[in-house]
Amino acid sequence: MDTFFLDLHIHIGRTMYGAPVKITASDSLTLEGVVEEASERKGIDVVGVIDCHVPDVQSQILQWIQSGTAEELEQGGIRYKGTTLLPGVEIEVYDDRCKGPIHVLCYFPTITSIQQFTRWMSHYVTNITLSTQRFYGSGMTLQKQVRELGGLFVPAHMFTPFKSLYGKGVHSSLSEVFHPDWIDAVELGLSADSRMADQLTELHQYTYLTNSDAHSLPKIAREYQQAYLNGASFEEVRLAFHREAGRSIVANYGMNPRLGKYYETTCKACGTVWGKGDRCHRCDSSHYIKGVKERVDELSTDDSTVESPERPPYVPQVPLQFLPKLGPKTLEKLLYHFGTEMNVIHHVPEHTLANIIPKTLAKTIIANREGKMTIEAGGGGRYGRVKG
């Protein structure tokens, strides 16, 4: 067995025919663009493309398979160059038991199984050709269908203030909407880490995922994980989610939660970090956007008799594009010499980096590798900032 890098939450902006899929995503975020970027520049071994429910996207995958450009693997997944694609879908659940909408991710082993899911889901959504459609049915109905098709079910970015499990979806427990045993893993989101999530005892049984939720090519692999697998396939990923047969997630590489757009509670009117009291100390508004840090504190079970599970390390990293003084030309130089972003972030020694870029920037990359960057926290829809 070996280790592999996985980013399992990547959108598609346009189909091969130019039709929109994810309205808020970049037009350059095509299926081909995603797998080329992952394989040739990022160094990601497995990508979850979560707009593969769209019939035109499925048609492109089938064309690749028929032409020999891609190969459908016996253990699930589609192999394209150096990357395995897991076909998936992001769905918005809002049944009568939800406080608010909840985004979930579903992955399927084969092109046939996701085609079957598309036909089934078309009866529950308004427009099957667009991303993240609202599902007019119950959460458990969706879970049951995913299981019957051999898929995987994952609540997405589960703490963000909008359209997430704990942000708006439930009062305090995932069991209010979902069957706990039919969840395969949970996604932390950009403003949370493993330590924060483990304050909720009901999450202790699940594997944590750190994915990019990429809406543009450069955002691929801003969060990702490393897994111990016997090959890059759907079945191997399933085993890793459930920590079976020696497979597992061995490290979560996520943005420092303080970099996330919703870490701090902030004033909705002026964006100032919310202090104590019921009004903004800067503009006197009474409206705020609750931050992930505060929401986790509210949900914390704080049961000292229950031990947190052993977790793989959560390594707080900053995407290369976020680093001060590392612009597009410098990034291209690094990729020219060292191949992929994963290689630059994880493997190239400091002295080797310093032969290509200024020594101060090489030191910054190493500090990033070791999780030692100083961050000014974000909130209210504004990303945090790397200081330096």
pLDDT of 124 > 80? The answer is yes
Q: Which of 27-41, 73-87, 95-109, 315-329 has the lowest mean pLDDT?
A: 315-329
**317 or 9, higher pLDDT:** 9
Query: What's the whole-number mean pLDDT along residues 86-111?
Result: 96
Q: Are 270 and 143 in contact (CB under 8 A)?
A: no
The residues that bridge with 351 in the sheet, in sequence order, are none
pLDDT of 75 > 60? The answer is yes
Please state, in angstroms and rounded to a whole number, the distance separating the CA atoms of residues 288 and 272: 9
Provide the pLDDT for residue 387: 75
Q: Which of 11-15, 53-57, 132-136, 370-374 has the lowest mean pLDDT?
A: 370-374
Per residue in 159-176, pLDDT (tens digit) is: 999 899 999 899 999 999
Three-class secondary structure assignment of 176-212 = HCCCHHHCCCEECCCCCCHHHHCCCHHHCCCCEECCC
Q: Are 225 and 47 in contact (CB under 8 A)?
A: no
Q: Are 158 and 193 in contact (CB under 8 A)?
A: no
Please state, in angstroms and rounded to a whole number, the distance separating the CA atoms of residues 191 and 258: 6
Per residue in 24-73, pLDDT (tens digit) is: 999 999 999 999 999 999 999 999 999 999 999 999 999 999 999 999 99
Q: Which amino acid is at 77?
A: G
Per residue in 291-302, pLDDT (tens digit) is: 999 999 999 986
Per residue in 190-208, pLDDT (tens digit) is: 889 999 999 999 999 999 9
Query: What's the whole-number mean pLDDT along residues 243-258?
Result: 94
pLDDT of 13 > 70? The answer is yes
Per residue in 206-221, pLDDT (tens digit) is: 999 999 999 999 999 9
Provide the pLDDT for residue 306: 63
Please state, in angstroms and rounded to a whole number, the distance separating the CA atoms of residues 265 and 379: 6
Provide the pLDDT for residue 302: 63
Nearest residue to 133 via CA among 104, 165, 96, 155? 104
The mean pLDDT value of the chain amounts to 94
pTM: 0.93
pLDDT of 104 > 60? The answer is yes
Q: What is the DSSP letter of 63?
A: H
**How much of the chain exceeds pLDDT 90, in percent?**
83
Query: What's the whole-number mean pLDDT along residues 213-230?
Result: 96
Provide the pLDDT for residue 52: 98
Provide the pLDDT for residue 303: 65
pLDDT of 383 > 90? The answer is no
Token look-up 């008799």 returns 305
pLDDT of 309 > 90? The answer is no
Nearest residue to 94 via CA among 154, 159, 145, 165? 165
In our burial notation (b when 16+ CB lie closer than 10 A, e otherwise), range 24-48 reads ebbeebbbebbbbbbbebbbbbbbb
Q: Are 212 and 219 in contact (CB under 8 A)?
A: yes
Kind and range of the H or E run holding 351: helix 350-354
Q: Give the phi and the psi of residue 94 in degrees, each rounded to 5.
A: -150, 70
Please state, in angstroms and rounded to a whole number, the distance separating the CA atoms of residues 332 and 1: 32
Residue count of the chain, please give it: 388
Query: What's the whole-number mean pLDDT along residues 69-94?
Result: 97
For each of the domains in the chain, give its residue range(s) and CATH number, in order of start: 2-257 (3.20.20.140), 319-372 (1.10.150)
Please state, in angstroms and rounded to a whole number, the distance separating the CA atoms of residues 213 and 199: 24
Kind and range of the H or E run holding 255: strand 248-255
- The token pair at 11 is 């959108």
Query: What's the whole-number mean pLDDT along residues 128-146?
Result: 97
**pLDDT band for position 129 (50/70/90)?**
very high
Question: Residues 6 or more apart from 46 whose CB is under 8 A from it?
Answer: 4, 5, 6, 7, 8, 77, 83, 84, 85, 86, 227, 232, 237
